[in-house]
C-alpha cells in the first residue's frame, strides 16, 4: 500500500484548496445577474417552506430558473456560432480560442510527470511486479483433506445461471451449446469438474 501511495503522490498533483475556475466561453454579465436573482429566489423559497406564501415563492423560483436556463441556452448557441464563424473566416485561428474551448472539454486535470529515473523504476516495479513465465503450480492438498464431490443438482443450478445471449469465451463455443451439452451428457461434465477439483488444475478455456 505504501508503494501505491508513493506512486500516486509522484504522478498526480495534490489539491491545494478550492481554486477559482475560469469562466466558460458562453458566460456573460447578463447571465451572472440572472443567476444571482435565481439564487435569491431559491433562498427565499427555502426559507418560506411550510408557510402560507410557499406556493408563490416556489413559482417565483421556478420562473427565475427557467429564465436562467433559457439565457444560458441562448448564449451557448450564439457563442458556438461565433466560434464556427471565426474558424470559417480564418483557418489558422482554429488554434486560438476555438481550440482552447474544445480541448478544455476533452482533457482532464494535468498531472505532474516524475523527473527521477530511480523513482520511475520504483513506481513501475511496485505497480507491475515481475511474474515468472512458468505456470503456477496448484497448491498442495493437506494430508487427509477431502474434496467434496460436485452433485448433479449443483451442476444443473450452475448450468441454469449461464446466459444464452452473451458472447462466447476464448474457446469460441456459445453458451447455448454448452447448456445443451451439459443437459445431454451431465455425467461427462461431472467427471471433468471432479477431476479439476481433485488435481487442482483448471484449463484456461
The percent of the chain in helix, strand and coil, each rounded to the nearest 5, is: 60, 0, 40
pLDDT at 109: 55
Query: Do residues 116 and 98 lie in contact, with contact meaning Cβ atoms separated by under 8 Å?
Result: no
d(CA 183, CA 189): 10
Q: For the whole model, what pTM was predicted?
A: 0.40
Query: Do residues 65 and 31 lie in contact, with contact meaning Cβ atoms separated by under 8 Å?
Result: no
Question: Which phi and psi angles does 168 have, rounded to 5°?
Answer: -70, 165
Q: Where are the domains of the chain?
A: 24-108, 152-199
pLDDT less than 50: residues of the chain: none
Instruction: Return the sign of the alpha-carbon dihedral for residues 103, 105, 111, 117.
Output: negative
pLDDT at 86: 74
d(CA 182, CA 24): 60
pLDDT at 175: 86
pLDDT at 3: 53
Look at residues 102, 98, 79 and name the one whose alpha carbon lies nearest to residue 90.
98
Look at residues 67, 75, 86 and name the one whose alpha carbon lies nearest to residue 28.
75
pLDDT at 173: 81
3-state secondary structure of 167: coil
Amino acid at each position: 500500500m505504501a508503494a501505491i501511495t508513493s506512486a500516486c503522490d509522484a504522478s498526480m498533483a495534490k489539491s491545494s484548496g478550492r481554486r477559482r475556475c475560469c469562466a466558460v466561453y458562453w458566460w456573460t454579465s447578463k447571465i451572472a445577474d440572472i443567476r444571482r436573482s435565481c439564487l435569491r429566489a431559491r433562498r427565499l423559497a427555502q426559507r418560506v417552506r411550510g408557510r402560507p406564501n410557499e406556493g408563490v415563492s416556489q413559482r417565483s423560483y421556478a420562473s427565475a430558473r427557467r429564465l436562467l436556463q433559457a439565457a444560458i441556452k441562448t448564449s451557448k448557441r450564439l457563442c458556438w456560432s461565433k466560434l464556427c464563424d471565426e474558424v470559417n473566416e480564418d483557418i489558422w485561428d482554429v488554434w486560438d480560442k476555438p481550440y482552447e474551448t474544445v480541448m478544455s472539454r476533452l482533457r482532464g486535470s494535468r498531472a505532474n510527470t516524475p523527473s527521477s529515473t530511480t523513482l520511475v523504476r520504483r513506481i513501475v516495479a511496485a505497480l507491475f511486479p515481475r511474474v515468472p513465465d512458468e505456470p503456477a503450480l496448484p497448491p498442495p492438498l493437506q494430508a487427509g483433506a477431502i474434496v467434496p464431490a460436485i452433485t448433479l443438482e449443483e451442476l444443473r443450478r450452475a448450468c441454469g445461471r449461464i446466459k444464452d445471449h452473451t458472447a462466447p469465451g476464448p474457446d469460441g463455443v456459445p453458451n447455448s451449446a454448452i447448456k445443451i451439452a451439459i443437459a445431454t451428457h451431465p455425467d461427462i461434465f461431472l467427471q471433468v469438474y471432479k477431476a479439476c477439483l481433485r488435481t487442482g488444475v483448471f484449463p484456461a478455456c
